[in-house]
């Protein structure tokens, strides 16, 4: 019997459900972190707006991050699919409630013969995608500030940069299921350059622009 490798853009119903659930939970978690309505530091209306903005910006950052993993994995002959980690999704909400965010909602799992290099490239594809997305959102932020554009669009740009830089830096931590561990196992120089770039850009952006409250 012949076997036809699935397209990188083919998703099972289970995978689509897990992606949607992770997207929703991450959006709520980021909104709780940026607009802590439970602490009385944001109004319900502002919190609802932050959920909507997070749904857009987190959605782009999270979905394209995972899609990058999947596309590269399939490129190397892997059978790949995203699976949500329900315990980590619960932890994301709980951590956001106390003022920080542990964003590891799941991962693209793949199977097949693979080298350390290929596995490292699959892992680094996600953070690099987030860096590229931050580069797309940054002109939106700067342009709307310079031209005094709509405040909502300015906030979209701000959140787009912050969330993408945060996800890039966080995922490069060489711990547990995070991308940084596989990248470090493959190449210490690649890990060092990528981690320093992600963390450095996040720190610089925070010092210059702060958080998008």
Using CA atoms, how far residue 135 sits from 111, 126, 155, 176, in Å, is 32, 14, 15, 28
Q: Taking CA 56 as the corner, what is the angle to CA 127 and CA 122, rounded to the nearest 5 degrees?
A: 20
Buried/exposed 148-168: b ≥16 CB within 10 Å, e otherwise: eeeeeebbbbbbbbbbbbbbb
- Given the residues 66, 148, 185, 208, select the one marked as catalytic: 66
Angle of the 188-209 helix axis to the 116-146 helix axis, nearest 10: 20
Give CA–CA dist 141/151, Å, rounded.
10
Total residue count of the chain as it appears in this document: 213
66 is catalytic: yes
Q: Catalytic residue numbers?
A: 66
């Amino acid at each position: 019997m012949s076997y036809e490798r699935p397209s990188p853009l083919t998703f099972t119903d289970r995978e689509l459900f897990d992606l949607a659930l992770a997207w929703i939970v991450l959006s709520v978690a980021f909104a709780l972190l940026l607009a802590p309505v439970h602490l009385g530091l944001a109004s319900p209306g502002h919190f609802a707006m932050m959920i909507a903005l997070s749904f857009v910006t987190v959605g782009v950052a999270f979905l394209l991050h995972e899609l990058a993993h999947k596309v590269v994995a399939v490129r190397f002959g892997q059978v790949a699919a995203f699976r949500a980690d329900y315990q980590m999704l619960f932890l994301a909400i709980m951590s956001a409630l106390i003022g920080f965010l542990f964003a590891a909602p799941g991962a693209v799992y793949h199977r097949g013969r693979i080298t350390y290099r290929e596995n490292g490239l699959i892992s680094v594809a996600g953070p690099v995608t987030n860096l590229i997305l931050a580069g797309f959102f940054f002109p939106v932020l700067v342009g709307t500030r310079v031209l005094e554009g709509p405040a909502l669009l300015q906030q979209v740009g701000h959140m787009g940069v912050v969330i993408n830089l945060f996800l890039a830096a966080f995922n490069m931590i060489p711990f547990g299921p995070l991308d940084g561990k596989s990248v470090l196992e493959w190449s210490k120089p690649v890990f060092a350059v990528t981690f320093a770039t992600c963390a450095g850009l996040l720190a610089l952006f925070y010092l210059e622009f702060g958080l998008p409250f």
